[in-house]
Amino acid sequence: MIGRRMNQAARAVLTLITTLTLATSTMAQDKSPELTIYAAGSLRAAMTQIAQDFALQSGVQPKLVFGASGLLRDRLAGGERADLFASANMEHPQALERSGHAASVRPFTRNELCALATAHFATDPRGLVAKLLDTRWRVGTSTPKADPSGDYAFEMFDRIERTGAAPAGSAATLKQRALQLTGGPQSPPPPPGRNVYAALVAQGQADVFITYCTNAAIALTEEPQLKSLPIGAAINVSATYGVATMKGATPMAQRFLDHLLGPQGQGRLRALGFSD
């Protein structure tokens, strides 16, 4: 009798162990491998769509973290973990590659600058450069070094002077007057669910904001009374975006990178105003 009970108990324990093993195996299979992507704020709309496409095809939903590229670079260099880093320039991911935090860097899209302006600024009949130099108008930019958008705006100011579109000293004057309203370590966070550039200009914090054309296009969907003004080729700055594979990245990172560089990923970018 005692032996029979011991055998029954043993069989019950074995059944329990088998059940727990199968449950653990099933949970492990059901759990999707984590994929974390740090990306420039200007990529928010495009990267969100691309990640959704990828999730439908792979079953893996990437975790997206957006911010100013320079600030994201500092966080990654400081030890935060990500599998991919998509920057609004090549310099920040290349810096991570040099320091041993990233394994490879490649360009994946391009952007240009536009002037997001109030209706009053837009209706001033003078050319853009003359209006930018007029101290009555407040000129907004992002924060150089922390956010490539600010670096590109300041490079545009240099080109204004270098091409002879404005007299000597104009670049320094524009940089000094520029209101660095976003993208810096102390900048307030963007309003939830809002395009930060649309909000800043619509609220009157700047009369004109030098930003990416893709940002300006999104801003107009939220604040249609604003205007997006083109910037001439002689003084415009073309931004090359770079993506880095971080050291220790999950194998799923390469699948996402292939998707990003492939026809569907590139199509999403082009549809939102980016270029090859």
Flag whether pLDDT at 16 surpasses 60: no
**Distance between CA atoms of 89 and 109, rounded to whole angstroms?**
10
DSSP state letters, 34-96? P-EEEEEGGGHHHHHHHHHHHHHHHS---EEEEE-HHHHHHHHHTT---SEEEESSSHHHHHH
The pLDDT tens digits for 55-76 are: 999 999 999 999 999 999 999 9
Flag whether pLDDT at 12 surpasses 50: no
The pLDDT tens digits for 210-224 are: 999 999 999 999 999
State mean pLDDT over 85-95.
98
Flag whether pLDDT at 144 surpasses 80: yes
Share of the chain above pLDDT 90, in %: 84
Q: Choose the CATH number for 113-230 among 3.10.450.50, 3.60.15.10, 2.60.120.620, 3.40.190.10.
A: 3.40.190.10
- CB-count burial class (<10 Å; 0-12, 13-18, 19+) for 169: exposed
State mean pLDDT over 200-205.
96
Give the pLDDT score at 192.
Answer: 84
Give the pLDDT score at 33.
Answer: 56
Collapsing DSSP states into helix, strand and coil, what is residue 108? strand
What are the residue boundaries of the structural domains of the chain, listed by start? 36-111+240-271, 113-230
* Residue 166 CB neighbours (<10 A): 20
Calculate the average pLDDT of the chain.
90
- Residue 152 DSSP code: H
On the question of a common fold for 36-111+240-271 and 113-230, the answer reads: yes
Topology of the domain covering 36-111+240-271 = D-Maltodextrin-Binding Protein; domain 2 (3.40.190)
Using the CB atoms, write b or e for 16-51: b if 16+ within 10 Å: eeeeeeeeeeeeeeeeeeebbbbbbbbbbbbbebbb
The pLDDT tens digits for 37-60 are: 999 999 999 999 999 999 999 999
